Structure 1
Amino acid sequence: MSTGAQNQTVKRDRTHFLYIAVIVAVALGIAVGLIFPDVGKELKPLGTGFVALVKMMIGPIIFCTIVLGVGSVRQAASVGKVGGTALLYFLVMSGFALVIGLVVGNLLPVTDLQLTDDLRKAGPGLVPKSETQGTSGFLLSIIPTTLFSALTAGSVLQALFVALLVGFAIQALGEPGQVALRGVQTIQKVVFKVLSMIMWVAPIGAFGAIAAVVGETGVDALKALLTVMVGFYVTCALFVFIVLGLMLRIVAKMSIFKLLRYVARELLLIVSTSSSETALPRLIAKMEHLGVSKPTVGITVPTGYSFNLDGTAIYLTMASLFIANSLGQPMSVGEQVSLLVFMVIASKGAAGVSGAGLATLAGGLASHKPALLDGVGLIVGIDRFMSEARAVTNFIGNSVGTVVIGTWTHQIDHARATRVLAGEIPFDERSMDPTHTTTDVRDGAQVPTA
């Protein structure tokens, strides 16, 4: 036990180090851009190189997440009422998150940074040529030369197309298909491990991108970045306290503030790691302790971690609008909706993975409006600052969703939930045992509480 705890501590410390490194890199990039603007402009390749590394991972990430996502839909729907209710709820809430993100994103002040042609260029190989063809050519370009070339050609839509085919094929195979699904899960772990390694050069990319933009536009870039960050945090707060708060109050007759206090330790854990997945085991235990039935928790929480990404939806919305406006290429409402629906679908199954949001953003822009792809470099510098709010919002959305679905399906003990939220039945932090007992800290004895 002690060895596992030590390993966990080491991982957290490394995460903190990366976070600090990004902050320092952004500060240095701003300083260089303001003091030595010509030097800052020459550092653009650092940001472009990092974007290229992230883009390299888009195909495999899209393939793995979509294949696993299709399998998860089938699994969740097969369990009947709870699974169907969960999927419908997650779909509706993701829609609400998209709408709120679109409204607030379009209300934010538009800042055209008026970058030079050199800074607008994505660099060799970053913009897929197939996207510039006509309608028929565009549709035909979705079909890859071979099944495996979709993962190497750099076309996001080809990877998505093949992933859907493979996902439905695995479904059709039934039980034998689960072997292939487990294989894809293993591949996904490898892909995400590579992505996490790439994220360790994020400070270099952030330094180059921020220095180049600030060197070109001066304080205008800082004002624009601060605006989108503040807007994102405000939007997440509005979604949590208004949309989720009202849903919890109307359906379950519970206070969002009491629920947040109940999961306060998990929220702190998420903030420290910038990943909602670190709190997944604790959320399962705490929801069972709250009074939600074990089968309902077992279905809703894992499914929500793949399909209920409210914070990610808001992030993708506002980041896309910011990039389009900053590059002087604002998107129409139709372009915004189609792009963001694609992004939300492509992000399924990538919850809690550092850098997955940035990769999904790059993939969406590459497939729908490749001229905006290089604008991802603008987001690199502030992505880390937005990741905490993104992960926290995702986690709160899944916490509320579990309670709401438990209420709709009559799988929650409301009397117990009231006592738990009031502090009358404390959660056993030592054993994380969700049963009706807790540990007396004075002598370690198990004292019945219900």
Structure 2
Amino acid sequence: MRSTEDLLAAEPPPAAARRKRWYRGIGAQVAVAMVLGVVVGFAFPAFAVDLKIVGDLFLSLVKAGVAPLVFLTVVMGIASAGDLKKASRIGLLALVYFEVVSTIALLLGLVAANVLSVGEGASTHASGAAQDMPAGESEHGFTAFLKDIVPDNFIGAFSSGQLLQVVVLAVLFGAGLMMLKPHMQAQVNKGLEVISETFFAFVNVIMKLAPIGAFGAIAYSVGANGTGMLLALAELVLQYWVVVALFIGGVLGLVCLLAGFNIVRILQYVRVEMTLVLGTASSEAALPGLLKKLTRIGCSKQSVGLVVPTGYAFNLDGTSIYMAICSMFVANAYGIDMSIGQQAGLMLIMLLTSKGAATVSGGTFVVFASTVAATGYLPVEGVAVLFGVYRLMSMATAFCNTFGNVVATFVIAKWCKEMDTDKVNAALADPKAFLARTEPELDDLPTDTPATDRVDDAPSDTPVVSPSLTSSTKK
């Protein structure tokens, strides 16, 4: 086995690349934009509320490219598995992992809500003015969930905004692709690689606007809630962030430890994507970057292509915690004493409804409203009280959902032996150095640097989700 030093030395940094300036990195730009958004939100609250459109437009642009990327990634992940049996093994293990971890997240949320007595001091504020909120679905339960995941036409799945429908179509399309003759499979795969690379380039252009989108989203959040937030809701936000941090550091940290990874190093590797998630409160914003980064570090194309998109629909740890804590907040605020049996029943309902949560900002709140209505005893009007601080909580929700899927990809790839363990260990030994070699900023390179000297893509012997056009034509 090669040593860590040998592996790191095997990929020398480009000679023409200069040291990257901190302000040119997208992560630093988003962080600065978030700080400016907070300042504007407090100083000019009325103006900051109008900036909501800026964040919404950015998220709309991201959504335009996410569904095709998910479809292409899942299809190519299945195709690269070589056979349906191998793909099924990864997918089945992923679903089992998702259910176990999501259940733990729900339990943690319910336990924390009981220990912290969330909402008990909010009884005098429960009748506050209701705000506009998304309407829940007219149907609830397992039957409605099944109807929602199967689209009635191929194109409609992409326009509906329901990512789970796209995943279902991609799995079926990938299974059909593997039944074709080998020469036909090769032709289709080559075409999908070209289209995938094009969509990644499209999303990369959109990501240049991420600091502007983050600025608008944060400014709106602070301007709408900064000075008028009730004490009980402020306590709820703080308690929720603490519980999410406990889940990430405790539960996901333990999972990483058992799998042989350092959760801090993993977080350092995806810090840009996670900063973007915090700024936009949307896990979709990080999806394009994660699809490339996770394959580049050593996770196989099939593991990334199957685990990440599926996790965006099924592995919503932050959503589970949010629904558990906020349901108990509504119950306590309205003086409803829920027994252990009622809480257990509530958890079963949330295990189903949480799978329908959208990955964009606002989707979790819609599903939460539907869950409260499905209980039959929690007052739906209590949901409106929480809408004012939803944005502040959705940042933690999206962060937990996204990072949970990152951890799941590392763990499942290792369990299924779909990982270059030596390369992953070497990269995580110094994530910053690995990123400097594999993802140099184009702005940091001299203008006369030949394109062949740049290392925007992984080495040719590393499987990636979206191989470059030049590498796909090599003999």
TM-score by length of 2: 0.60
2:143 counterpart residue number? 161
Aligned to 2:325: 318
Provide the C-alpha distance between the structure 2 equivalents of 1:380 and 1:404, rounded to a whole number of angstroms.
35
Cα pair distance change 1:339/1:305, threshold 3 Å: same
**What SS does the aligned partner of 1:328 have?**
coil
Contact 1:316-1:340 within 8 A present in 2 as well: no
Counterpart of 2:123 in structure 1 is: 114
Alpha-carbon distance, 1:287 to partner: 0.7
Distance in 1 between residues matched to 2:417 and 2:113, nearest whole Å: 38
**Pairwise mapping of residues 220-231 of structure 1 onto structure 2 (< 5 A)?**
221-222=230-231, 224-231=232-239
CA offsets, 1:150-203, max 9 Å, x none? Answer: x9xx63338x63453575xx5xxxxxxx7625424423369xxxxxxxxx9x97
1:22·1:381 contact (CA, 8 Å) conserved in 2? no
For the aligned residue pairs, the C-alpha RMSD in angstroms reads: 4.6
Aligned equivalents of 1:316 and 1:362: distance in 2?
9
Q: State the match for 2:372 in structure 1.
A: 365
- Within a 5 Å distance, the mapping from 1:125-136 to structure 2 comes to none
5 Å matches for 1:46-65? none
Change (3 A) 1:24 1:189: farther
- Of residues 339-348 and 360-369 in structure 1, the stretch that sits farther from structure 2 once superposed is 339-348
- Written as runs of structure 1 = structure 2, the 5 A alignment for 1:109-258 is 109=117, 111-115=120-124, 119=127, 155-157=138-140, 161-165=143-147, 180=153, 182-188=155-161, 221-222=230-231, 224-251=232-259, 253-258=260-265
Shift in Å, 1:336: 2.5
- 1:336 partner amino acid: Q
Q: Confirm whether residue 425 of structure 1 aligns to residue 434 of structure 2.
A: yes
Cα offset for 1:319? 0.9
Look up the match of 2:99.
91
> Within 2, Cα distance between the matches of 1:234 and 1:116?
23
Give yes or no for contact 1:108–1:227 (8 Å, CA) kept in 2.
Answer: no
Cα distance in 2, alignment partners of residues 22 and 338 from structure 1: 44
Q: Which moved more, 1:332-341 or 1:292-301?
A: 332-341
Taking the aligned partners of 1:385 and 1:262, their CA distance within structure 2 comes to: 25
Residue 39 of structure 1: aligned partner: none
- Counterpart of 1:82? 90
- CA apart distance, 1:97: 0.5
Q: Which residue of 2 aligns with 1:102?
A: 110
Contact kept, 8 Å, 1:292 with 1:406, in 2: the verdict is: yes
Q: CA deviation at 1:337?
A: 3.0
- Structure 1 residues 181 and 341 mapped into 2: Cα distance closer, same or farther (>3 Å)? farther
- The Cα of 1:228 is off from its aligned counterpart by 1.5
Q: State the 1:317 CA deviation.
A: 0.8
Letter in 2 for 1:245: G
- The letter for the 2-side match of 1:155 is S
Question: 1:229-288: CA deviations, max 9, x gaps?
Answer: 12111111111111111111112x111011111111111111111111111011111111
Q: Matched residues in 2 for 1:262 and 1:163: separation?
A: 35
Question: Given residue 353 of structure 2, which amino acid in structure 1 is its aligned partner?
Answer: A
Cα distance 1:203–1:261, how it changes in 2: closer, same or farther (>3 A)? Answer: closer
Q: Distance in 1 between matches of 2:263 and 2:390?
A: 27
- Count of aligned residue pairs for this structure pair: 337
2:271 partner letter: A
Percent identity over the alignment is 33
**CA distance 1:367–1:20, change in 2 (3 Å):** farther
Letter in 1 for 2:305: G
Contact map agreement 1:284 1:297 (CA 8 A) in 2: yes
CA distance in 2, matches of 1:114, 1:375: 11
Amino acid at match of 1:303: T
Aligned to 2:386: 379
Write out aligned runs for 1:275-294 (5 A).
275-294=282-301
Q: C-alpha separation between the residues in 2 aligned to 1:121 and 1:115?
A: 12
**Structure 1 unaligned residues grouped into runs of 5+:** 1-7, 29-67, 128-150, 171-177, 191-199, 215-220, 433-438
The CA distance in 1 between the partners of 2:332 and 2:44, in whole Å, is 21
Q: Quick one: structure 1 residues 262 and 107, their matched pair in 2 at CA, closer, same or farther if it must change by over 3 Å?
A: same
Residues 128-171 of structure 1: CA deviation (Å, up to 9, x unaligned): xxxxxxxxxxxxxxxxxxxxxxx9xx63338x63453575xx5x
Superposed CA offset, 1:357-402 (max 9, x none): 1111111111213552111122112111111111111111111100
Counterpart selection for 2:349 from 342, 345, 349: 342
